[in-house]
Amino acid sequence: MTNRVWRFLVVAAVVCAVVLLLPAPLQAQDTDNQFTGSWIHYLNATNLETGPFLPALLTYHADGTMNASSSLMFGSPSLPLAPVRYSPIHAVWEKIGYKSIAVTSYFIAFDPDGRMHGYQRNRAVFELGADRDTYAGMLFLDELHCGAIGVFSCPDPLDPSLEWTPNPNMPPGGYQVTARRFKVIPYPE
């Protein structure tokens, strides 16, 4: 074989190696904004120093969706700000920065007797902690009430012309939120 053929084969091998090895380092760089997984999420409901801190269990999926179960799903008679019950929470999220995401979630609100009386919408921005196992941010809660006959007179919550009402119990600027990622706990030996 001639030198030209050998040089071509060497260059082709180097190019193939670079192409095959390149995706791994690029993927590793993006793990600093890795929200996917399950979290215990705390909403600071009233006082930034003493709480109460309302927990929820959240799972962020890689496709940009999120599902959650709130501690208020079955009501909370001891909290005057939450005399209602909530459905599971459904959300979408998107990356907005190197270590931050924006989230919009919707859930259905029921009165204490179990009748639907409206929708709730959360809008939030969260930033991943340096340890990648915590995040913090602010959450803004809006309400959309149904008419007098409940579910049969509820507007479409995705209608952009509707006016949502800020939650009257919400502190100015929204609710403070913190979260910690679930970890595997070893099975006892």
Which is more confidently placed, 97 or 76? 97
Phi first, then psi: what are they for 95, rounded to 5°?
A: -75, 130
Q: Can you give the C-alpha Rg of the chain in angstroms?
A: 23
Q: Answer whether residue 188 is part of any domain.
A: no
What is the reported pLDDT for 125?
Answer: 97
Residues 52 and 100 in one domain: yes
**Each residue's pLDDT tens digit, 143-154:** 998 876 555 678
Q: Answer whether residue 151 is part of any domain.
A: yes
Q: Answer whether residue 189 is part of any domain.
A: no
Query: Cα–Cα distance between 92 and 67 in angstroms, integer?
Result: 9
Q: How many domains does the structure of the chain reveal?
A: 2
Sign of the torsion formed by the C-alpha atoms of 150, 151, 154 and 158: positive
Q: How many CB atoms lie within 10 A of CB 87?
A: 16
Could you tell me which of 59, 61, 67 has the C-alpha nearest to residue 40? 59
Residues 18 and 83 in one domain: no
Biggest alpha carbon–alpha carbon distance for the chain = 88
**Each residue's pLDDT tens digit, 4-46:** 544 544 444 444 444 444 443 333 334 445 899 999 999 887 6
Query: Cα–Cα distance between 96 and 85 in angstroms, integer?
Result: 31
Residues 137 and 49 in one domain: yes
Find the CATH number of the domain harbouring 46: 2.40.128
Residue 128 has pLDDT above 90, yes or no: yes
| Polymer length in residues for the chain | 189
Whether the CB-CB separation of 113 and 146 falls below 8 Å is answered with no
Q: Which two tokens stand for residue 43?
A: 């909403």
Residues 27 and 40 in one domain: no
Could you tell me which of 126, 162, 104, 116 has the C-alpha nearest to residue 43? 126
Query: Cα–Cα distance between 82 and 116 in angstroms, integer?
Result: 14
Residue keyed to tokens 């179960």? 69
User: How much of the chain exceeds pLDDT 90, in percent?
Assistant: 47
Residues 57 and 125 in one domain: yes
Q: Which two tokens stand for residue 83?
A: 């005399």
**Each residue's pLDDT tens digit, 40-89:** 999 887 655 666 678 899 999 999 999 998 887 776 655 555 567 888 99
Give residue 29's domain range: 1-33
- Confidence band of 116 (pLDDT split at 50, 70, 90): confident
